Amino acid sequence: MDYSIIFDLAVILFTCKVLSIFMRHIKVPQVVGQIVAGLLIGGNLLHIVEKSEPLVFMAEIGVLMLMFSAGLETDLKEIKSTGAVALLVAGMGVIVPLVFGYLLYSVFYGSAAVGSNEFWTAVFMGVIMTATSVGITVEVLRELGRLKTKVGTIILSAAIIDDVIGIVLLAFVSGLQGSENGGASGAFMVILRTVLFFVCSIVAGIVLHKLFYWLEKYRPHTRRVPIFSLVTCLLFSWAAETLFGIADITGAFVAGVIIRTVKSASDDTTRKLDISSYMIFTPVFFASIGIKVTIEFANINPMLIAFAVCFALVAMLAKMVGCFGASKLAGFGKKDSLRIGAGMMARGEVALIVATKGAEAGVLSSEFFIAVIALIIISSILTPIALKGLYKTENV
């Protein structure tokens, strides 16, 4: 056994925590601190921790647990209660950024033939833009006393739907990009595999719902519930990747959604699994992103810097335009439509996960992680300012 992994873990966890605390004090998401920790201790600066197979494995477990937790937080009843409005806002909040991301990459690096690696890189840039992170938005709306309003509910529900659509889109694009057949037949097989996965998930979900309901009824608050929940997450992840050829994180997310249907089991699982996820696997995942990114400081590409800034600004603009337009169509006034658009601008973990999967598929260079990190930081700073400004003239 190579005991250097123990030292690496100690360094990662320590630096992640220190920088997370610092980021929290300056009102920036803690995830940014964990990525910066990876950049700091990795091959770019201090060269303390290098990329290794054990770290790659732990990072993969981390991303699965992260998406599993996202599924556990996805309340289908809440989504249903907001109805078609949230779906419309979410749909436009995906379509417009997807198109804008593709066009932005094409403007900077040129358009490419459909099916080429450059084409899929442009598509992945659009997919990265589709994700929404409402952690900051939730805190701002709570502070303003607007979290439980109609606008707040629409933002939360649309963000959840956004992530669901984004994960499905990632599964589809990843499968199509990796399809050996290509063309119409390749697209058909990807669609067929994706549909089959979700059909099988629904059937399995019905069975698992009854199983977890029985466990919670006759054996409540026992360790077996979170253990069986984790087993479900891992099996769904394995099945998604190996049996259906779609991203393993899709399986993890769906497993979380299924277990969420039994709220007591979901709460118990979240409470127990969050400890190991928060303390070990999630920091390793985000730090590994920084460790894997290679920045040649002596040869900084001005075009890449310009692209990163434009990527962040266009991503926020695209989300604002899409969600504002959908809100207006749904009958909201101009100010409320602007609030919904502003509340959907922030990006976070899902954007990083999509970028990571794009890099693993070989269609996204690690240098583009700079653009994703810039998006997270800039949107995290501007979203609260925009929301507070839009609510400034209104008394609570």
Does 18 map to a domain? Answer: no
Does 46 map to a domain? Answer: no
Helix (H, G, I), strand (E, B) or coil at 372: helix
Question: What confidence score (pLDDT) does residue 329 get?
Answer: 92
Burial class (CB in 10 A: 0-12, 13-18, 19+), 187: middle
The answer to whether 163 and 131 have CB atoms below 8 angstroms apart is yes
Spans of the chain below 50 pLDDT: 181-183, 396
Question: What confidence score (pLDDT) does residue 294 get?
Answer: 64
Counting every residue, how long is the chain? 396
Does 58 map to a domain? Answer: no
Does 22 map to a domain? Answer: no
Question: What confidence score (pLDDT) does residue 314 get?
Answer: 95
Give residues with Cβ within 8 angstroms of 382, minimum separation 6.
316, 345
Does 12 map to a domain? Answer: no
Does the pTM of the predicted model rise above 0.85? Answer: no
Does 196 map to a domain? Answer: yes
Amino acid sitting at position 68:
F
Domain that holds residue 330: 75-276+300-391
Does 47 map to a domain? Answer: no
Question: What confidence score (pLDDT) does residue 396 get?
Answer: 44
Does 25 map to a domain? Answer: no
Instruction: Report the CATH number at residue 118.
Output: 1.20.1530.20
Report the distance separating Cα 5 and Cα 173, nearest Å: 34
Burial class (CB in 10 A: 0-12, 13-18, 19+), 237: buried
Domain count, the chain: 1
